[in-house]
Amino acid sequence: MLRHRNFILLLLMIFIGYSCNSSSSSNQVSQKATQLSRSEAVPTQVIVEPVKEGLPVVKEGDSIIVVRSDNTRQVIQVLVGESSVQESTIPGYSQVMTGLVVRVSDGDTVVLLDADKTQHRIRLDGIDCPESKQSFGSKATQFVRDKIGNETVNVHYNKKDRYGRVLGVVVTQEGENINEALLANGLAWHYKYYNDNPVYAKLEQEAKDKKLNLWSEKNPIEPYEFRKMKKKK
C-alpha cells in the first residue's frame, strides 16, 4: 500500500505542478522516479518518452519505467516489469534470458518460464548428458533438478537448434555455471562435434582422470553414439 500511495503522490505532483516547461519537467520526473525507487528499494529503469494519451497504470514488478508525454498535461504512465532478455557477458553468447526452471526433462534439457509467462525449452549448449536409459542418465537429471529445479536462472544464448530448443549456458543466481558443473562432476561429455570450448575440454579431462561417475566405467558410450545405435534397431 505504501508503494501505491507513493505512486499516487508522484502522479498528483506531476499533474498539478509540472505543466509548463518540457525540458525542466523531464529532469524533475526522472528525479522523482529515482527518489521513489531508492526509498522503496526497487531496481529502477527510467525511460522518458512521449505519450499521446493514456492513464497511469501501476502493477507489481521489479523495474519502474516512467514514460512522459510532451504535452502540457504531463501524462505519466508507470509500467512495472523488467524484460527477461538482456545482453550476455559470457564470450560467444549475445543474449541472456532470465526465468524460472519449471521442469527438468533430463540432464541437459530444462524448461524455463520467463517474465511474460512464456515457456522455453533450453538445451544446455556444448555438453551431452547420458540418455535416461544409459548409466548415470538418471543421476545427471537429478543433479540438475537439485541445482536449479524451481529456481530462477540466467540462460546465455545465441540461437535455437533444429528442434526449436534454445541452445545456452545456464547460470544460477549465485553464479554457478551448470554446464561446467555437469562436466566437472563426470555427468556429461564435452560435445566436441559442435563445441570447441577449451574450458569444457579441460573439465571433462579432469573428471576422466578422477574417474568420476560415468568415467568410472571402463568403456562409457557417448549419448551421440547411443542414439545412433537406437536408430539402427
Domain ranges of the chain: 2-80, 85-232
Q: How many residues does the chain have?
A: 233
Task: Report the alpha-carbon distance of residue 128 to residue 18 in Å, rounded.
Answer: 59
145 is catalytic: no
> How far, in Å, are 24, 128, 143, 166, 193 from residue 107 at the CA level?
55, 8, 7, 15, 18
* Tens of each residue's pLDDT in the chain, 233 residues: 444 444 444 544 544 444 444 444 444 444 444 443 343 444 444 444 444 444 344 444 434 444 445 554 444 444 444 556 788 889 999 999 999 999 999 999 999 999 999 999 999 999 999 998 899 999 999 999 999 999 999 999 999 999 999 999 999 999 999 999 999 999 999 999 889 999 999 999 999 999 999 999 999 999 878 887 877 76
CA 116 to chain centre: 12
Residue among 68, 165, 180, 204 flagged as catalytic: 165
Residue among 82, 87, 103, 131 flagged as catalytic: 131
Task: Report the alpha-carbon distance of residue 224 to residue 233 in Å, rounded.
Answer: 15
176 is catalytic: no
87 is catalytic: no
Residue among 40, 53, 60, 123 flagged as catalytic: 123
Provide the CATH topology of domain 85-232.
OB fold (Dihydrolipoamide Acetyltransferase, E2P) (2.40.50)
